[in-house]
Every structure is written in C-alpha cells, then in structure tokens.
Amino acid sequence: MIKTKRKERGQGLVEYALILVLIAVVVIAVVTAFGPFVAGLYSQIVGMFP
C-alpha cells in the first residue's frame, strides 16, 4: 500500500510539472507575439517626455 501512494504522489508531481511547462510555453508565446507592440508603445510614451 505504501508503494501505491508513492506512485500516486510521483504522478501528481509530474502533472504539476506538465502544467508549469504548459504555462511557460503560453507565456513565451504571448511575449513573442506582443513584444514588438509593447516595445513600440513604450518608445512612443518615452518619446512624449522632453
């Protein structure tokens, strides 16, 4: 019975790791897609100040 709980605990850790990897991939995709837009917007805002 102890071995079964260890397997389930390990499975839970793997599932959390996969979720974290999925979130990281989504964040990288969003930053890649919107990065140039945000950089241009930031440049415009900074350009407004003397």
Q: Residue 1 pLDDT > 70, yes or no?
A: no
Q: Residue 8 pLDDT > 90, yes or no?
A: no
Query: How confident is the model at residue 2, as a pLDDT?
Result: 56
pTM above 0.85, yes or no: no
pLDDT, tens digit (0-9, with 9 covering 90-100), for 25-47: 999 999 999 999 999 999 999 99
Q: Residue 9 pLDDT > 90, yes or no?
A: no
First to last CA, the chain: 71
Sequence letter at residue 46: V
Query: How confident is the model at residue 34, as a pLDDT?
Result: 94
- Render 11-46 in DSSP notation, one character per residue: HHHHHHHHHHHHHHHHHHHHHHHHHHHHHHHHHHHH
